Structure 1
Amino acid sequence: MDAKKVFYTFAIAVISAVTGVYVYSHIVKSEPKVITIKEEVPAIGQLTANTVQASLPDLTTAAERSVHAVVHVKTRSRGKDYYSGNPFYDFFFGPGSGYRQPQQPVMGAGSGVILTTDGYIVTNNHVIDNADEIEVTLNDKRTFSATLVGADPTSDIALIKIEAEELPFVPYGDSDELKVGEWVLAVGNPFNLTSTVTAGIVSAKARSINIIANQNQTLGVESFIQTDAAVNPGNSGGALVNQRGELVGINTAIASRTGSFTGYSFAVPVTIAKKVVADLMEFGEVQRGLLGVSIIEVSNVTDELADELGVKIDKIKGVFIGSVAPNGGAEEAGLKAGDIILSVNGEDVNSVPELQERVSMHRPGEKVNIIALRDGKQKPFEVTLRNIRGTTGIISSSKIDETLGATLEPVSASDLRRLGVRYGIQVVEVGNESLRKSGVKNGFIITKVNDTPIKSIDDFKAAVEKAKDGLFLTGVYPNGRVVYYAVNLND
C-alpha cells in the first residue's frame, strides 16, 4: 500500500510538471532571446558628413554654367544740380534762369546677366536708373561701355547692350516650375572681382513687398520669388538659377532694416523678366496688357463692401474685382464688380501678385481666358487686353520722345518741402520740341498734366500716351512761382 502511494504521488508530480511546462510555454509570453553582436560604430563626424552629403544636391554644375555669364555693372550720373534762385535773373531772363551749381558725380554698382552671345544683358532698373554712363565688367575682367536699350520701372527690369561676340550666357528656365523648398543659386558680381555664388531654397512664391511702388511712386508688378539665399545690395540684377543652371529670376531686393542680408531675398520671376526683355528688344517700351479692373485680395474685402455688392466671401479663393474700368477689356467681356477671378488661362490665381504675373505675360490685343465666380457659380470670360490708352495696339515710344524733347528727373524731397508741393518731376533741359515751343524753361517742376498728378517720369509718359491733342501743364519754378502751360501735340 505504501509503495502504491509513493508511485501515485510520483506520477502526479511528473504529470503536473509536464502540464506546467506546456501551459507556460504556450500561454505565457517568453522573453526574447538576446544575442550580442559585435559591431563597429562609425565616428560621429563621419556619420554626419555622409548624411549631409546624401541629403544636399550637387550644385557645382549649376554654378559652373552661370558664373561666367554674370557681370558687374557700374554706373555714373552727374547728380542733381543745385538751383540758386535769383529774382534779377528771373525778371530779365524768365523764371528758372538762376544760377545752377553742378554737383559731384554719383557712382553706383550692381550685377547683370548676359542673355545672348552678342551682348544683351538684363539687370534691375534701379541699378541703372538716371545713369549717364554704364560700364560692364565681365567675369574674365574685360570691360565694356554699355548702352541702355530700355527700362521698365513697374517691374524693376532694364536691358543694356555691350558690343561683344561669343559671350557666355544663361539660358532661360521656367519659374512656374519652381517649388517651395527647391534649391536655387543666387549668382552676383557685387565687388567687381569675380562672380560669387550663394545657395538657398525657395521660401515662397508670388510675394509682394511694395518695394517697386515705393521706389518709383507708381503701381508696380510684384510677384517675387522669395529665397533664403544670401543676397546683398551689390547683387541686385544678378541671376537666380535652378539646379540645372537655368535662369529662373533676377535678384532684386532683400528684407532688411540694416541694408545687409538678414534672412530673405526676393527675385523677379523669369516669366515677367523674359516678357519685359522681349518687349524692350523689339519696341523699346514694355507692351503691358491691362484687364481694365481694380483688384483686391479676397481677405481684404470688408463686410460692408461684400454686402453692398451682394457677395459672400467666406472661404473663397481668387482675386476680388472692386471695380471695372469703362470701355475696358473686362467690361467688354462681361466681367463686373463683385466677380471673383479664379484662374487665367487655366492657371489658378489666389492673390493679387499671382494675377498680375499672369496678365503681365501678355501684350495689348492678346486674349486671356478668365474663370470668375459670380452668384456662387463659375463662369468663363474671354478678355481682350488693352494698352494704357485703352486700345489694343502696340505703344511706340516715338510719341513720347517727340513730345518731350526734354530731359526730366525726379525732384528731391527737400526741394518738394521747400516749395510746398507733394510731388512732381523737373525739366532739366528743355530741348527743341513741343515743351520749348510752349514756353517751358529749364528748372520747371511739373506737378500735374491735364489735372492728373505727376509723381514720377512714368506718370508723365502715361499722361502723354493718353492725351489726344494737347497737354495742360501745372507746375512751379524753383523760385516758387506757379505757372501753367498749354502744349499742342499736333505741332
Structure 2
Amino acid sequence: MRNLKHYTAALMGLWLMGLTAMARADLPDFTGLVEAASPAVVNISTRQKIPEGRGAGAMTMPDLEGLPPGIREFFERSIPQMPRSPRGKQEQAQSLGSGFIISADGYILTNNHVVADADEILVRLSDRSDHTAKLIGADPRTDVALLKIDAKDLPTLKLGSSDQLKVGEWVLAIGSPFGFDHSVTAGIVSAKGRSLPNESYVPFIQTDVAINPGNSGGPLFNLKGEVVGINSQIFTRSGGFMGLSFAIPIDVAMNVANQLKTEGKVSRGWLGVVIQEVDKDLAESFGLDRPAGALVAQILDDGPAAKSGIKVGDVILSVNGQKIEESADLPHLIGNLKPGAKADMEVIREGKRQNLSVTVGDMPKDDQATSGGERGSDRASNRLGIAVANLTAEQKKTMDIQSGVVINKLSGDGPAAAIGLRPGDVITHLNNQPIESATAFEKITSALPAGRSISMRVVREGRASFITFKLPGK
C-alpha cells in the first residue's frame, strides 16, 4: 500500500510538471524580438522656453502629480535640478517621450503631444548618442509627428499591418516610461476600432500593455516583431497605468507620415455633418431592425453633404461597401478618402434604403462649429406638455435653421420635461417629419403613436441631436 501511494504521488508530480511545461510552452518568448527591435527605439526629450516664474526651476516628468506621494518623491529626487535663469530671462522645461526609427537616413515617428510647442527636440539613440531633431510635420488630429535627424545607416523597424491585427493577439511595447529607457512590457489586444472623446479620426487599438508617461510615441509590436501601432494614450484615474492603453494603428500613422513627408501637411476627407450613435430606440423609430449606422443630426451649410443630397435624419449604413456598425466608424472611413473622391453610401431615409454618391470635401484647418408668421399656443397642453412658437426670421438667421419651432413653456409633469427638454430648445423634426410651423407641430403631436419609440431632433445652443421617447396610451 505504501509503495502504491509513492507511485501515485510520483505520477501526480510528473503530471503537474507536464502541465507546467505545456503552459510555459504556450507563452510567447519575447527575448529575440526585444533584442532585434530595441536598437531602433529612441528616447525623445524636448525643451520649451517658458516665462520666468512659471517654471519650477527643475525638470519635471509628465503626470507626477497623480502618483502616490512616496513614488512621486522618488522620481523628484531622481530628476536632475536645472539652474534658475537670471531675472528677466527664460527657463527651459523638458518633457520625455519615445519614438522609433522608420528609415536608415533618420526619419522617426512619435506622438504630436510629445513634441508639441517644443523649441528644441533631442533624440537619444540606443548607443547613448544624442541628436537634435527637425520636426518635418505634425498632425494633432491623429497625434502623429514625423522627425528627422542627421544620421546614416541607422537600425530600423519592420512595419506590419494594423488591419490584420486580431483581438486577443499578443503585443509588446518598448519605450521610456518616466525616463527609464528601453523598458519592455507585454499584453494582448483588448479591442480594435475604439473611439475616444474628441478623437474622431483614429480607430484606436486598445491593449492591456502597461503604458505610462514617457511611453508615448513608442512602438507597439506583434509577435513577428512588426510595428502595428504607436502607443499614445492611457485611461487612468491615478495618473498611472490601470489596464487600458490605446495605440494609433500603424496604417493610420504611416498614411499621415507619408503625407507630412511629401506634402508637408495632411489632407483628409470631410462630409460636413454632425452625427450621433443609433441606439435601440432610435433604430426602432427609424425602421431599423437593429442599432447600426451613423445618424445625421445636422448638416453644415455649403459642405459636401449639403451639396450631395444628404438630409437630416438619414442613417448612413455603409461607405464604399464598408459597413458602419457604430457612428464613430464614419469619420474614420471618410477621413481616409482623398478630397474630391467619390463616396458611395447606403442610407435609410424615411424607412427606405437609398444609395447616394457624395463627393468628399477637404477637411478645413479648424473643425467647423456645428454650430413673422403664425404663433403657437401659449399653453403647454398638448400630449408632450409643451408650448411652442414659430421661429422668427432673426432666430432662423442666428441659429442657421430653416424651419422648426422654439419651446416657450413646459408642463412640469409632461413627457417633454421628463426627457430633459427646456425652454429655448428648437424642435426641427418629430416622428421623422420636418416641423414647418407651430400648427404643423400640434398636428403631428396629436397623431403620435403610443407605446413605441418616437424620434425628435432638437437644437440646443447650436448643437443638434436626436432623442427618443415613448408616450403612454391615449
TM-score (normalised: structure 1):
0.61
1:118 maps to which residue? 105
- SS in structure 1 of the partner of residue 201 of structure 2: coil
- The offset of 1:80, in angstroms, is 3.9
- SS in structure 2 of the partner of residue 322 of structure 1: strand
Task: Give deviations 1:271-316, integer Å, cap 9, x for gaps.
Answer: 32122111111122211211221111112x986xx89xx7345623
Distance 1:260 1:48 in 2: 35
| Alignment check: 8 A CA contact 1:68 1:195 kept | no
* Unaligned segments of structure 1, at least 5 residues: 1-36, 84-99, 214-218, 391-491
- The offset of 1:113, in angstroms, is 1.6
- SS in structure 2 of the partner of residue 370 of structure 1: strand
1:289 maps to which residue? 269
- The offset of 1:103, in angstroms, is 4.1
The answer as to 2:247 corresponding to 1:276 is no
2:286 is aligned with what amino acid? V
Distance 1:371 1:63 in 2: 46
2:338 maps to which residue? 363
| Alignment check: 8 A CA contact 2:200 2:332 kept | no
| Alignment check: 8 A CA contact 2:104 2:156 kept | yes
1:55 maps to which residue? 26
The answer as to 2:216 corresponding to 1:245 is no
Distance 2:53 2:181 in 1: 38
- The offset of 1:244, in angstroms, is 1.4
Distance 2:35 2:318 in 1: 38
| Alignment check: 8 A CA contact 1:153 1:220 kept | no
| Alignment check: 8 A CA contact 2:278 2:327 kept | no
Distance 1:351 1:142 in 2: 46
- SS in structure 2 of the partner of residue 272 of structure 1: helix
Task: Give deviations 1:48-83, integer Å, cap 9, x for gaps.
Answer: 431322322344444344322211001010114679
* Unaligned segments of structure 2, at least 5 residues: 1-6, 55-86, 366-474
1:421 maps to which residue? none
Task: Give deviations 1:393-438, integer Å, cap 9, x for gaps.
Answer: xxxxxxxxxxxxxxxxxxxxxxxxxxxxxxxxxxxxxxxxxxxxxx
| Alignment check: 8 A CA contact 1:72 1:190 kept | no
1:374–1:131 distance in 2 versus 1, CA, 3 Å = same
| Alignment check: 8 A CA contact 1:324 1:330 kept | yes
1:143 maps to which residue? 130
Higher strand share: 2
Deviating more after overlay: 100-109 vs 38-47: 38-47
Larger radius of gyration: 1
2:241 is aligned with what amino acid? F
2:194 maps to which residue? 207
Distance 1:50 1:349 in 2: 44
Distance 2:143 2:125 in 1: 22
The answer as to 2:236 corresponding to 1:256 is yes
1:313–1:73 distance in 2 versus 1, CA, 3 Å = same
Out of 175, 180, 186, which is 2:167 matched to?
Answer: 180
* RMSD of Structure 2 on Structure 1 (CA): 2.8
Deviating more after overlay: 229-238 vs 316-325: 316-325
1:45–1:161 distance in 2 versus 1, CA, 3 Å = farther
- The offset of 1:193, in angstroms, is 5.5
1:336 is aligned with what amino acid? K
The answer as to 2:118 corresponding to 1:131 is yes
Distance 1:377 1:52 in 2: 54
Distance 1:382 1:271 in 2: 26
2:345 is aligned with what amino acid? I
Distance 2:15 2:259 in 1: 56
2:207 is aligned with what amino acid? T
Task: Give deviations 1:426-482, integer Å, cap 9, x for gaps.
Answer: xxxxxxxxxxxxxxxxxxxxxxxxxxxxxxxxxxxxxxxxxxxxxxxxxxxxxxxxx
| Alignment check: 8 A CA contact 1:241 1:249 kept | yes
Distance 2:124 2:355 in 1: 50
1:42 maps to which residue? 13
Task: Give deviations 1:315-359, integer Å, cap 9, x for gaps.
Answer: 231111112233322333332222222223332222233222222
| Alignment check: 8 A CA contact 2:101 2:157 kept | yes
Distance 1:265 1:80 in 2: 34
| Alignment check: 8 A CA contact 1:239 1:250 kept | yes
| Alignment check: 8 A CA contact 2:200 2:331 kept | no
Distance 2:89 2:208 in 1: 42
The answer as to 2:354 corresponding to 1:379 is yes
1:321 is aligned with what amino acid? V
Aligned-pair identity in percent equals: 43
Distance 2:36 2:331 in 1: 31
| Alignment check: 8 A CA contact 1:287 1:363 kept | yes
| Alignment check: 8 A CA contact 1:222 1:353 kept | no
Mapping 1:161-240, distance limit 5 Å: 161-190=148-177, 194-210=181-197, 213=198, 220-240=200-220
The answer as to 2:329 corresponding to 1:349 is no
Higher helix share: 1
- The offset of 1:183, in angstroms, is 1.1
1:194–1:386 distance in 2 versus 1, CA, 3 Å = same
1:47 is aligned with what amino acid? G
- The offset of 1:112, in angstroms, is 0.5
- The offset of 1:131, in angstroms, is 0.6
